[in-house]
């Protein structure tokens, strides 16, 4: 049995147990995803085709993880104009395992529609960082001497020197 579902503007041919990467869903890992836009269901004997969707059909899946796709580089260039731009894009995706294909929603039990939680994956605790040795106490005498020197240098720069007197030209009579 397989079905064709529509999600994220794309169509996917799925069967039970398939794992597929689709456009990001706002669901956390361990939650169930319900796909109610089913375009076609084939069960070996009959084929049901929607116009455009089957009203009573539903496909259920389990969200495994949310992740980013590989980077796609976009490069723009205009020849002889010194114009070049490079941009990268990583699409947000959700990995889903298809758990159930149902041609009729009334056949689904409350257990199928109930939220399911996966056991949390324990991450190893980070190793404790070694403490850095305390810095040696600074000598206040050197610090005190250095600060006034900087101020004096700043004063020297800001002081204006008188302009040299220009000799006056003698007037011709």
Q: Is residue 140 part of a domain?
A: no
Q: Is residue 120 part of a domain?
A: no
Distance of alpha carbon 21 from alpha carbon 10, whole angstroms? 11
Q: Is residue 105 part of a domain?
A: yes
Residue scoring higher pLDDT (163 or 48): 48
Top mean pLDDT of 77-91, 124-138, 146-160 is at 77-91
Residue 15 sits in which domain range?
A: 2-113
Q: Is residue 69 part of a domain?
A: yes
Distance of alpha carbon 102 from alpha carbon 1, whole angstroms? 10
Q: Is residue 166 part of a domain?
A: no
Q: Is residue 29 part of a domain?
A: yes
Q: How does residue 73 score in pLDDT terms, banded at 50, 70 and 90?
A: very high
- Determine contact, residues 89/71, Cβ cutoff 8 Å: yes
Average pLDDT for the chain: 83
Q: Is residue 118 part of a domain?
A: no
In the sheet with 19-23, reading across from the earlier edge strand, the strands are 19-23, 92-102, 58-68, 32-35
In whole angstroms, what separates CA 161 from the centre of its chain? 59
Number of domains composing the chain: 1
DSSP, collapsed to helix, strand or coil, labels residue 16 as coil
> Which two structure tokens, joined as six digits, stand for 146?
């250095």
Report which secondary-structure segment, H or E, holds 113: helix 110-113
The pLDDT assigned to 29 comes to 96
Q: Is residue 9 part of a domain?
A: yes
């Amino acid at each position: 049995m397989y079905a064709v579902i529509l999600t994220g503007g794309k169509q996917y041919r799925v069967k039970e147990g398939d794992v597929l990467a689709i456009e990001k869903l706002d669901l956390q890992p361990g939650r169930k995803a319900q796909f109610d836009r089913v375009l076609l269901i084939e069960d070996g004997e009959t084929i049901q085709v929607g116009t455009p969707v089957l009203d009573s059909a539903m496909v259920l899946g389990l969200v495994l993880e949310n992740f980013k796709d590989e980077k796609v580089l976009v490069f723009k260039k205009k020849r002889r104009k010194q114009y070049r731009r490079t941009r990268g894009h990583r699409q947000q995706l959700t990995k889903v395992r298809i758990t159930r294909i149902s041609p009729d929603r009334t056949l689904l039990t409350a257990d199928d529609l109930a939220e399911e939680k996966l056991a949390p994956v324990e991450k190893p605790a980070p190793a404790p960082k070694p403490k850095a040795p305390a810095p040696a106490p600074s000598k206040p005498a050197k610090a005190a001497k250095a600060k006034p020197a900087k101020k004096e240098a700043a004063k020297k720069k800001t002081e204006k020197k008188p302009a040299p007197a220009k000799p006056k030209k003698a007037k011709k009579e």
